[in-house]
């Protein structure tokens, strides 16, 4: 064995012995980090892209408010969130929007390893403020107008010409209403999701707001003789000529077909545009008007809650019972025999 080197005059520490390098396996923390990142991706996927976009917008509003008041947004105390909520109510925002923004604040806290302000032991005052806002500013929820059969036929009739955009928009309105689709479901449709059968269409909904596990559902759309959803969809598929990929595509300014799917916000604008062309107030309509239109018309025509649920895929019948109740307000009215 070679002799150890002599000690330095200025250093009385023992000499350093250098061991040969060892072959090591990946350390556990690195493995855990990879798994944590994968778990975070799954957690992110649990919320729809629309929800994430709204939450990000709400968080940006809160952080800007904190900056203006020289407060820390992360972590934020329950009292800070309570003052923010109060300011939002004073500015005229409705309780539902304020509650969503508080939920977005909690989401971003949890995502960064902090407890949500509403879950902190000192959150009692925040809960009281939110309850007070609901009591003071709450009221009947304002619903957008449903695009029922009459409204939809008028909107379709107002679309002029046979250009690619006109053909596409007719198909979107007809299929969106006939299958009671959410706007996110409309833009997620793929050419492969369309099944053409003698009775009409079999439309596969691969994933939806209430089907986060992706089990999928098949919706039957009758051929129809008034709105004619099957004929209008086949017109679009023939005109577009695409054999795969997104069913409803974005169009260029010159109405040229692009490979990209439409955005869900484009569906809302499309509905409002054609409602205005048909003579309606466009502010009363939204992307949800197509889905609500099917349920409203179906209930008015005597469809049972369970037949409506087959198409709408609601997990609970409570929402559907409201549509049926509204449709039957004057049916067998208690005052019919004496008013």
Residues 308-320 have a mean pLDDT of 83
Q: Is residue 301 part of a domain?
A: yes
Lowest-pLDDT range of 32-46, 179-193, 215-229:
32-46
Q: Is residue 268 part of a domain?
A: yes
Helix axes 288-300, 305-312, angle to 10 degrees: 160
Residues 48-62 have a mean pLDDT of 83
Question: Residue 178 sits in a domain of what CATH number?
Answer: 1.10.443.10
Q: Please say which residue of 94, 113, 137 terminates a domain.
A: 137
**Looking at per-residue confidence, does 338 or 103 come out higher?**
103
The whole-number pLDDT of residue 217 equals 86
Q: Are 264 and 183 in contact (CB under 8 A)?
A: yes
Q: What is the pLDDT of residues 256-270, one digit of tens each?
A: 999 999 998 999 999
The whole-number pLDDT of residue 30 equals 57
Residues 205-224 have a mean pLDDT of 79
The whole-number pLDDT of residue 54 equals 85
| Cα 295 from Cα 303, distance rounded (Å) | 9
Q: Is residue 32 part of a domain?
A: no
The whole-number pLDDT of residue 210 equals 64
Q: What is the pLDDT of residues 270-311, one digit of tens each?
A: 999 999 999 999 999 999 999 999 999 998 888 888 888 889
Question: Residue 111 sits in a domain of what CATH number?
Answer: 1.10.150.130
The whole-number pLDDT of residue 334 equals 77
User: Are residues 243 and 316 located together in one domain of the fold?
Assistant: yes
The whole-number pLDDT of residue 49 equals 64
Q: Is the pLDDT at 174 greater than 70, yes or no? A: yes
Burial 303-335 (b: 16+ CB within 10 A, else e): bebeebbebbbeeeeeebeebbeebeeeeeeee
* Largest distance between two CA atoms of the chain: 118
Q: Are 227 and 177 in contact (CB under 8 A)?
A: yes
Instruction: Kindly calculate the radius of gyration of the chain based on its CA atoms and give it in whole angstroms.
Output: 29
Number of structural domains found in the chain: 2
**Residue 141's pLDDT band (cuts 50, 70, 90):** low
User: Are residues 165 and 47 located together in one domain of the fold?
Assistant: no
User: Are residues 73 and 174 located together in one domain of the fold?
Assistant: no
User: Are residues 82 and 220 located together in one domain of the fold?
Assistant: no
Q: Please say which residue of 137, 169, 202 terminates a domain.
A: 137
Q: Is the pLDDT at 28 greater than 70, yes or no? A: no
| Cα 246 from Cα 188, distance rounded (Å) | 7
Q: Please say which residue of 137, 167, 201 terminates a domain.
A: 137
Q: Is residue 333 part of a domain?
A: no
Q: Is residue 211 part of a domain?
A: yes
Residues 63-67 have a mean pLDDT of 94
The whole-number pLDDT of residue 52 equals 79
Residues 305-324 have a mean pLDDT of 83
User: Are residues 116 and 169 located together in one domain of the fold?
Assistant: no
**Looking at per-residue confidence, does 50 or 308 come out higher?**
308
User: Are residues 174 and 91 located together in one domain of the fold?
Assistant: no
The whole-number pLDDT of residue 134 equals 85
**Domain extent at residue 76:** 37-137
Nearest C-alpha neighbor of 206 from the set 194, 221, 220, 223: 194
Q: Is residue 182 part of a domain?
A: yes
| Cα 211 from Cα 234, distance rounded (Å) | 27
Report helix, strand or coil for 154. Answer: helix
Q: Is the pLDDT at 25 greater than 60, yes or no? A: no
The whole-number pLDDT of residue 102 equals 93
Q: Is the pLDDT at 47 greater than 80, yes or no? A: no
Residues 231-252 have a mean pLDDT of 94
Q: Is the pLDDT at 241 greater than 60, yes or no? A: yes
Q: Is residue 188 part of a domain?
A: yes
The pair of structure tokens assigned to 121 is 């032991």
DSSP state of 260: E
Helix (H), strand (E) at residue 312: helix 305-312
User: Are residues 118 and 262 located together in one domain of the fold?
Assistant: no
């Amino acid at each position: 064995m070679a002799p150890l080197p002599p000690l330095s005059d200025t250093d009385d520490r023992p000499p350093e012995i250098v061991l040969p390098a060892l072959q090591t396996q990946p350390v556990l923390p690195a493995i855990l980090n990879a798994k944590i990142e994968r778990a975070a991706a799954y957690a992110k996927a649990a919320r729809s892209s629309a929800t994430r976009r709204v939450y990000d917008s709400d968080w940006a509003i809160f952080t800007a408010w904190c900056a203006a008041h020289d407060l820390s947004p992360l972590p934020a105390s329950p009292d800070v969130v309570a003052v923010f909520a109060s300011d939002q109510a004073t500015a005229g925002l409705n309780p539902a929007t304020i509650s969503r923004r508080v939920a977005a604040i909690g989401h971003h806290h949890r995502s960064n390893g902090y407890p949500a302000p509403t879950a902190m032991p000192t959150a009692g005052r925040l809960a009281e403020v939110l309850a007070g806002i609901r009591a003071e500013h709450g009221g009947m929820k304002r619903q957008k107008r449903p695009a029922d059969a009459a409204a939809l036929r008028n909107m379709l009739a107002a679309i002029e010409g046979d250009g690619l955009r006109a053909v596409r928009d007719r198909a979107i309105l007809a299929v969106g209403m006939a299958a009671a689709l959410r706007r996110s479901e409309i833009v997620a449709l793929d050419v492969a999701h369309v099944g053409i059968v003698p009775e009409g269409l079999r439309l596969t909904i691969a994933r939806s707001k209430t089907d986060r596990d992706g089990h999928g559902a098949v919706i039957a759309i009758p051929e129809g003789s008034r709105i004619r959803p099957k004929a209008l969809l086949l017109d679009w598929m023939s005109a577009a000529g695409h054999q795969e990929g997104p069913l409803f595509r974005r169009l260029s300014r010159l109405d040229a077909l692009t490979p990209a799917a439409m955005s869900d916000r484009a569906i809302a604008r499309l509905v409002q545009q054609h409602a205005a062309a048909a003579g309606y107030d466009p502010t009363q309509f939204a992307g949800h008007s197509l889905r609500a239109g099917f349920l409203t018309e179906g209930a008015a025509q005597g469809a049972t809650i369970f037949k409506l649920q087959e198409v709408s895929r609601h997990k609970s019948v409570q929402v559907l019972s409201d549509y049926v109740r509204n449709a039957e307000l004057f049916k067998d009215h208690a005052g019919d025999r004496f008013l």
